[in-house]
């Protein structure tokens, strides 16, 4: 399975919904010179949201994804578990890690269906099966951002005692979302 990473930029938190939004993949070349073509994505929703690419550690579901020429915006929701146990601990750890800024990246796990080798030495993934989206620690690409962690209105933020400045992409010094890129960080082994 191949992986491509994108950086998260957490805006605000809503513990009730635990929803996140962002860009899963873009057509920009990664560090290896590879390109994962957003319009080549094939997938079925809902899709698993994993913790650190571990298929044995799901934390939620991807509920919306729409490939465009500039990238794949997505919405995902982390589960809210009330019963004490390992599952609650894992999902709460993922949510707390997002809120603390310790985990700031997402990564797509995919299987190549059709690819071409580019003159630059990279691989252009033209068609691919999107298998999962993961919350990961490695912030490999500073241009790809999450656009929201279920935005709260300013009154609600003040009521819960969180001082959060709601910003739009570009306000934090990052490039606009349309210019984001995906990064492939594992050895390239293709059949």
> For residue 7, what pLDDT is reported?
61
Q: Are 62 and 49 in contact (CB under 8 A)?
A: yes
- Please give the Cα distance from 113 to 100 (Å, whole number): 37
Predicted confidence band of residue 25 (pLDDT cuts 50, 70, 90) = confident
Which tens digits make up the pLDDT trace of 156-188? 434 434 333 333 333 333 333 222 333 333 333
- In-domain check, residue 38: yes
Q: Is 127 left (phi over 0), alpha (psi -120 to 50) or beta?
A: beta
Least confident of 40-49, 80-89, 92-101, 102-111: 102-111
- In-domain check, residue 158: yes
Q: Return the closest-CA partner of residue 136 out of 128, 148, 127, 144.
A: 144
Q: Return the closest-CA partner of residue 115 out of 102, 128, 125, 100.
A: 125
Q: How many domains does the chain have?
A: 1
Tokens of 108: 């797509």
3-state helix, strand, coil in the chain (%, to 5): 15, 35, 50
Between 13 and 160, whose confidence is greater? 13
- In-domain check, residue 6: yes
pTM (2 d.p.) = 0.72
Average model confidence (pLDDT) across the chain? 74
> For residue 178, what pLDDT is reported?
28
pLDDT of 81 above 50: yes
pLDDT of 125 above 50: yes
- In-domain check, residue 40: yes
Which tens digits make up the pLDDT trace of 33-64? 788 899 999 999 999 999 998 999 999 999 99
> For residue 10, what pLDDT is reported?
55
Give the mean model confidence (pLDDT) for residues 113-141. 86
Q: What angle do CA 80, 50, 24 make, to 5 degrees?
A: 110
- In-domain check, residue 7: yes
Q: Are 162 and 13 in contact (CB under 8 A)?
A: yes
- In-domain check, residue 147: yes
Least confident of 82-86, 139-143, 183-187: 183-187
> For residue 61, what pLDDT is reported?
98
Residue numbers of the domain that contains 131? 2-179
Predicted confidence band of residue 113 (pLDDT cuts 50, 70, 90) = very high
């Amino acid at each position: 399975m191949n992986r491509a990473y994108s950086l998260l930029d957490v805006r605000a938190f809503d513990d009730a919904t635990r929803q996140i939004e962002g860009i899963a993949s873009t057509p920009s070349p990664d560090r290896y010179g590879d390109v994962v073509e957003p319009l080549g994505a094939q997938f079925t929703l809902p899709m698993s949201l994993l913790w650190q690419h571990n298929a044995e550690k799901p934390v939620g579901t991807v509920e919306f994804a729409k490939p465009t020429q500039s990238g794949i915006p997505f919405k995902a929701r982390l589960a809210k578990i009330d019963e004490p146990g390992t599952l609650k601990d894992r999902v709460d750890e993922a949510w707390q890690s997002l809120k603390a800024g310790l985990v700031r990246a997402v990564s797509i796990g995919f299987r190549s269906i059709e690819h071409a080798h580019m003159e630059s030495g990279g691989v252009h993934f033209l068609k691919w099966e999107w298998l999962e989206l993961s919350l990961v620690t490695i912030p490999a690409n500073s241009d790809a951002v999450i656009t929201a962690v279920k935005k709260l209105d300013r009154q609600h933020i003040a009521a819960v005692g969180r001082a959060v400045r709601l910003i739009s992409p570009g306000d934090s010094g990052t490039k606009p979302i349309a210019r984001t890129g995906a990064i492939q960080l594992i050895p390239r082994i293709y059949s």
